[in-house]
Structure formats: structure tokens, C-alpha cells
Amino acid sequence: MSVDIPVWLRPHVYRAWARAFHSNLEESALPLEEYASLRDFFVRTLKEGCRPINPNPYSLVSPVDGTILRFGKLNGAGAMIDQVKGFSYSVSSLLGASPLLSMLAEKNSEDDSSTIEQESTQREQSKKSWWRVSLASPKVRETISECPMKGLYYCVIYLKPGDYHRIHSPVDWNVLVRRHFSGRLFPVNERATRTIRNLYVENERVVLEGLWQQGFMAIVAVGATNIGSIELFIEPELRTNRPRKKLIPSEPPEEHLYEPKGVGVMLKKGDEVAAFNMGSTVVLVFQAPTSKSPKNNDASEFEFSIRRGDKIRVGEALGVWHA
């Protein structure tokens, strides 16, 4: 992917790629001759205005171009996400240990009087204390609205090789932590999702976790065959797809807490966040307004505006809610 292509050959290579994978070359920000390698072409930027961001302040937008695989509401941090019929994986196994999600889930629980005592190491206690300090920070607390009830939702979007491969911010939010799971690099196409159990949990992935005005927000960039390399624009020094890490796919994730503590990295809706070096998958897990009763048609409840199999582009609404 990174091998330089002779200038005279570049337009022919990229046009052949576009024909094979249905890429729109008219959106490319630069002339084809200026992309030195297939990798440069693959993570290319687009012309200004090609991906307008939905201006509705009560909308959550797609962070990528791709195909909607699955979406829905989750019953708590321990809920399962369907991969395909018969295959599912838990939110906790996808995200890793998430003190932030656990504490926000506890905060929204109606039974605050019941507590569960857990044994933890000194490191885990220290991390939990850090998250409590983060939540107590006025700058973070101000970003969370006073809506009394939050539901937990998810959305899985698959990127084909011909899709635009940069990841953008779906909302205004504060990124507080990053986790990198070395994992494997199985393909993530339709056939693979039907045959490989726990596919997204087994594969290499990068998790960004933080807070937005409605509570918890996480973006999971899942690697695949030929696409272990995931670039984070907010952390350029991060290196993924390292050969030594492939030898121990079950090793604990590498975690990085963004400075300043309690604020992290602030992103605006539509900001560039990361890029894949080939087709892959993005999973969103987030809190949003919900009603206490499924029979209560509350206008303020978050509602998805998509269907399974829909093609979606960066900036288009995944769902909306009302103040």
C-alpha cells in the first residue's frame, strides 16, 4: 500500500481501483498524479463541501461513509450486540473495561440504593478515582444535559474498499481515553460476520471514549485483513498493526488518558478523527434521551432515522431527538 507508484502510472492504477470498487474520483481533493502510493490515494481527503454536516443541533451524524449493518437500543452496559443471527458479543468485551460507562449507567439506574461490592486491584481503583474526578470536573459536567433518563444505543457501519475512509466526529464531544486492542485481522465482510464468532471483539481495534451533551460516547474503529493500520489524527504517534503484537492477540489493551484530565480532546461535529488504510467497520455506542416506558411515545426520545442496509455518508443523520 505504501510503495511509491511512478507518476505516469498513477492515474491508470487509481482509475482501475475506482472501477473495481465504485469509488467517486470526482470528489478527490487532489489530481490523481499527486497521490504517491495506493495508501495515499486510499486515505485521500475530499473536495470542500462534498460531505455537508447536518446542521440540526439535535442530530447525531454518521462518522463514516458506509453501509448500515445493525443498530438499536441496549439494555445496559452488559448488553449483547447481535453480529448475525446466533452470533453476538457484549458491549464490555468490545470496549474493554470502561469505568466511565459503568458509572454513568449506575447514575441512571433507578435503584441507586443497591450497591455491589467488587474486589479490584490498586490500579483499577486509581483509574476509577480518575474517572470520578473527570465526571466532577465542571468543564465535563457542563457538557451533559439534565435529561433525567438516558438509554444506551449502538450502530454498526461497514466500509467497503471503495468508500471514503476517514472517520469524523458524530457530535460535539470530549474524548477522554483511547484503548488499543492488538487483536487479529480477520476480514469483516458479510461472509466473515456469518462464520467468525466474536469477529469485532477478536480483531484489532481502537476505542475512543468520552462524553457528549447526552452522556457516554464511544467510537470503535475495527481493523480487518490488510487494514490493521488505523491512524488517529488526534494522536499521530499511535502505531497499530505491529507484528510483535500479533503474536499475543489476547494481551490487555494499551490505554492512554488524554490531557488535560477531565477535559481531554474536544472535538466538534464533523471534525476528522481517524483514517483506515482499507475497508473496515465502525461501531458507535452512545447514550441518548429515552423514555422510561416503551408505551410512552415521548417526543424527546432519540430515534434512528436509518434502516439496515442503507448506504450512508459522513454528516448524514443517524438519528434525532427533540429538546
From first to last of the 323 residues of the chain, give the pLDDT tens digit. 789 999 999 999 999 999 999 999 999 999 999 999 988 998 899 999 999 999 999 999 999 999 999 999 988 666 777 754 445 777 888 888 777 777 776 666 544 444 334 444 444 554 555 555 455 555 555 555 444 468 999 999 989 888 999 999 999 999 999 998 875 554 445 554 544 444 445 567 889 999 999 999 999 988 765 544 788 999 988 877 665 444 455 567 788 889 887 789 999 999 999 998 765 889 999 999 987 655 555 557 899 999 999 999 999 999 999 87
Reduced to 3 states (helix: H, G, I; strand: E, B; else coil), residue 132 is helix
Partner residues linked to 155 by β-bridges: 71, 284
With b for 16 or more beta-carbon neighbours within 10 A and e for fewer, the 39-76 pattern comes to bbbbbbebeeebbebbeeebbbbbbbbbbbbbbeebee
Q: Which residues belong to the active site?
A: 65, 168, 280
C-beta separation of 217 from 144 below 8 A:
no
Report the C-alpha gap between 151 and 147 in whole angstroms: 11
* Phi, psi for residue 152 in degrees, rounded to 5: -110, 130
Domain ranges (residues) in the chain: 1-50, 54-107+147-321
